[in-house]
């Protein structure tokens, strides 16, 4: 189904200092990388993913994560086609700069991945995607969101903690049968985030 007007959010991209500090690594599976220069005056549109963009999403995931942790085409397509899945993309000048993929079974939601192109990191794009995704999930009845991130990924852990996620458990050998992961959780609405309808929606 094509995105409704309420599913499109245009952001004149001027990140706050708090966003820039914690957007070093916006993926749950990625290791920290330095950001490249970015034209902050270019507007970014956050909207629903369209199937024709699959190749671009897979290419971005391969760029974000090492082999064995990045998703194969089959696995990424599997998650995208789940009835409970939602994928939001951030588009700048017709190119995908990032995406967030979630699945849900209200009141529980799960962040599958949050990917941002290296050239757009430390600019608040991951925060924008996460905020919009949380708002939409909450509007559909999700009250708790889970995710996993590698225990050695300090930048990602800091990013998630900045946005209200807390470590709940350690998952032994979660990645590649070798690397442990933290399971992190957020209860929506405790800090006022994600308690309002999606942009443009009516109640």
CATH code where residue 25 lies:
3.40.630.30
Please write the tens of the pLDDT for every residue from 25-70.
444 453 333 223 334 556 889 999 999 999 999 999 999 988 878 9
Please write the tens of the pLDDT for every residue from 61-105.
999 988 878 999 999 999 999 999 999 999 998 899 999 999 999
User: For residue 114, what is the enclosing H or E element?
Assistant: strand 108-116
Q: Residue 2 domain-assigned?
A: no
Query: At residue 162, does pLDDT exceed 80?
Result: yes
* CA–centroid distance for 195 within its chain: 18
Q: Residue 30 belongs to what domain range? A: 7-147
Q: Residue 172 domain-assigned?
A: no
Q: Residue 195 domain-assigned?
A: no
Structure tokens at 41: 């005056």
Assign 112 to helix, strand or coil: strand
Q: Residue 180 domain-assigned?
A: no
Q: Residue 24 domain-assigned?
A: yes
Query: At residue 137, does pLDDT exceed 90?
Result: yes
List all residues 6 or more positions away from 8 whose beta carbon is below 8 Å from its beta carbon: 45, 46, 47, 48, 199, 200
Q: Please state whether the predicted TM-score (pTM) of the whole model is above 0.85.
A: no
Q: Residue 161 domain-assigned?
A: no
Q: Residue 109 domain-assigned?
A: yes
Query: At residue 164, does pLDDT exceed 90?
Result: yes
Q: Shortest CA distance to 131 belongs to which of 24, 3, 26?
A: 26
List all residues 6 or more positions away from 91 whose beta carbon is below 8 Å from its beta carbon: 44, 45, 46, 47, 97
Look at the chain and report how many structural domains it folds into: 1
Query: At residue 201, does pLDDT exceed 60?
Result: no
């Amino acid at each position: 189904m094509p995105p409704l007007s309420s599913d499109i959010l245009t952001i004149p991209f001027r990140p706050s200092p708090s966003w820039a500090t914690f957007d070093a690594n916006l993926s749950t599976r990625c290791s920290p990388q330095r950001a490249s220069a970015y034209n902050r005056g270019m507007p970014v549109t956050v909207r629903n993913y369209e199937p024709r963009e699959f190749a671009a999403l897979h290419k971005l995931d391969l760029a974000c994560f090492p082999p064995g942790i990045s998703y194969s085409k089959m696995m990424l397509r599997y998650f995208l086609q789940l009835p409970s899945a939602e994928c939001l993309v951030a588009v700048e000048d017709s190119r995908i700069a990032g995406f967030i993929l979630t699945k849900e079974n209200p009141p529980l939601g799960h962040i599958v991945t949050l990917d941002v192109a290296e050239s757009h990191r430390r600019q608040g794009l991951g925060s924008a995607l996460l905020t919009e995704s949380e708002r939409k999930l909450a509007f559909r009845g999700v009250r708790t969101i889970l995710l996993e991130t590698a225990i050695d990924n300090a930048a990602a852990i800091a990013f998630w903690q900045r946005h209200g996620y807390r470590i709940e458990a350690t998952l032994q050998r979660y990645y590649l049968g070798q690397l442990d992961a933290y399971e992190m959780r957020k209860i929506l609405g405790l800090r006022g985030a994600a308690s309002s309808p999606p942009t443009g929606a009516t109640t």
